[in-house]
Amino acid sequence: MTITAEGLPDGLSIDPDTGNISGTVAQAGESTAKFTASNASGKDTVAIRIVIGSTICLTPPLGWNSWNCFHKSIDDGKIRGAADEMAATGLIDHGWTYINMDDRWEGERDAQGNVQSSEQFPDMKALADYVHGKGLKIGIYSSPGPTTCGGAVGSYLHEDQDASTYAGWGMDYLKYDWCSYQAIAEMERAEKYGAILPPDQAQEFATLAGEISVLQQLQYGHDPSTLPQTDAIKKAEDESAAFTRDQIQDRLKEVLNQAAALEAGVKKTEPDKVKAIEIEICSAPFAKMRASLDKVNRDIVFSFSQYGGLFDIWQWGAEAGGNTWRTTGDITADWKSVEGHGFGQNGHEPYAGPGHWNDPDMLEVGNGGLTPDETYTHMTLWCMLSAPLLIGCDMTQMSPFIVSVFSNDEVLAIDQDALGKQGWRAKMNGQGEVWIKPLEDGSLAVAFFNRGDVAANVAVQWSELKLAGPQTVRDLWRQKDLGIQASGYSLEVAPHGAELFKIAPSQ
């Protein structure tokens, strides 16, 4: 196969053997390039819009992340293997792009404070070059706190250094996980709440916040000595040194309740100030790393990962510099988790758009625990949500069915639609739901869901979707035209199942 391009912006070039486009463009703007692929069997040509500017991640990321299947047991070979599988299975040809390593790639810092990779990752630059050589991009992981969730070194006080290191290695994506920053946040809360609490309560709150910070570090097996050594922290370290794990949990619950009691009064009298304080604390570490990423000469997608959408992150994530932000806790490979994570996104749609996406967490497709119908629902719902699609299974173990789920271009096109509108619930009747998502070409993606345990009929009238006249209906999972439907559409949907359609006015 030979691939050529006409009309590429100055500074970009294409490899005719792989089709990989690379380079740097100095001039912002939008253009259209014509690409032609040809071999002995013939040729095909397509026009592709290229947008150059400061906003990246114009459609939700498609890729793979190591955590759901490998957790902390990752190494250079598994990341290379994931890239190999993305290419060998053909998923790369359907737009899957990122190969993202999660926690525990980290080693220690050198004498200058530069983060080093662990023995399991002997040469990060070589690893990135290998992934790029496949026509893919590569992502990395860190935390704004002193340590990551897995207890490795975080980016706290080293943001500029780490951003420069990631860019030097050739990273294209950064997942930034709240983790131990909660302990730092407690200390900041003590200072900021202290300004609006009575003096005696302010002192008590500062003492409690120091103890909470230490206990939270101990709760997750992290070293509290990595925290700034304030008087409150030192005192709490001494007092908790001999605690058992159960005593840590019990004491943490006790001091959290004591702090909440102090907060209750000021939350009642100064709710706006309290909300502003919490958003400032939650957004600050992400904004700080955003500023560091902006200093390096590389486009790096910035993904916020924190506990279940701290203080309505969808309302401030874009302002803090995020390209994606977690709106939920961690997902698991079971129906209850997938259902709760996905359907709970309704109402967040005003805050998503090109460059900025709500993230209900990674895909559990292929990890077991879901029926085929639940698998279709998982994928359908995430596409309707314009969510990042990050495969979370071991790609060497994918069945032909799972590969087919990830390879349906018409379904993926709903997630990747350039208009960037997140879908929402348009109708609910018992366990049946109808969701809609406007598309760039003026058509409408419509999904039928059955959240019940038995098959159910799901129906919609075009008037309920503010559509007038007969509409053409295409079944996207089956890639089959269903003809012109005069006033609406209905069908039986399997338990925990989904159907996905593209609706457009008939000619």
pLDDT band for position 229 (cuts 50, 70, 90): confident
SS3 call for 446: strand
% helix, strand, coil for the chain, step of 5: 35, 25, 40
Task: Provide the pLDDT for residue 83.
Answer: 98
Task: Provide the pLDDT for residue 401.
Answer: 98
3-17, 132-146, 302-316: which has the minimum mean pLDDT? 302-316
Rounded CA gap, 495 and 291, in Å?
A: 47
Q: What is the token pair recorded at 169?
A: 């290695």
Active-site option among 84, 103, 162, 177: 177
The CA R_g of the chain, rounded to the nearest whole Å, is 25
Task: Provide the pLDDT for residue 297.
Answer: 93
Task: Provide the pLDDT for residue 60.
Answer: 98
Beta partners for 498? 449
Q: Which amino acid is at 240?
A: S
371-405 pLDDT, tens digit per residue, is 999 999 999 999 999 999 999 999 999 999 999 99
Does 152 have pLDDT greater than 90? yes
453's CB contacts (< 8 A; 6+ apart) are: 495, 496
Beta partners for 484? 472
323's CB contacts (< 8 A; 6+ apart) are: 56, 57, 61, 301, 302, 303, 355, 356, 357
169-217 pLDDT, tens digit per residue, is 999 999 999 989 988 999 898 889 888 999 989 999 999 999 999 998 8
Task: Provide the pLDDT for residue 194.
Answer: 87
pLDDT band for position 488 (cuts 50, 70, 90): very high
Task: Provide the pLDDT for residue 3.
Answer: 93
Task: Provide the pLDDT for residue 119.
Answer: 98
Task: Provide the pLDDT for residue 215.
Answer: 93
CATH homologous superfamily of 62-179+278-367: Aldolase class I (3.20.20.70)
Q: Which of 206, 210, 185 is nearest to 307 (CA)?
A: 185
Q: Phi and psi dihedrals of 242, rounded to 5?
A: -100, 10
Active-site option among 160, 312, 330, 373: 330
Active site residue 15: no
Task: Provide the pLDDT for residue 18.
Answer: 85
Task: Provide the pLDDT for residue 486.
Answer: 96
148-157, 185-194, 469-478, 492-501: which has the minimum mean pLDDT? 185-194
Task: Provide the pLDDT for residue 308.
Answer: 73
High-pLDDT (> 90) share of the chain, %: 87
336-364 pLDDT, tens digit per residue, is 999 999 999 999 999 999 999 999 999 99
Task: Provide the pLDDT for residue 306.
Answer: 86
Q: What is the token pair recorded at 387?
A: 């969510």
User: 424-505 has which fold?
Assistant: Immunoglobulin-like (2.60.40)
High-pLDDT (> 70) share of the chain, %: 100
To the question of domain 2-52 being in CATH 2.40.50.140, the answer is: no
Active site residue 123: no
Rounded CA gap, 485 and 476, in Å?
A: 16
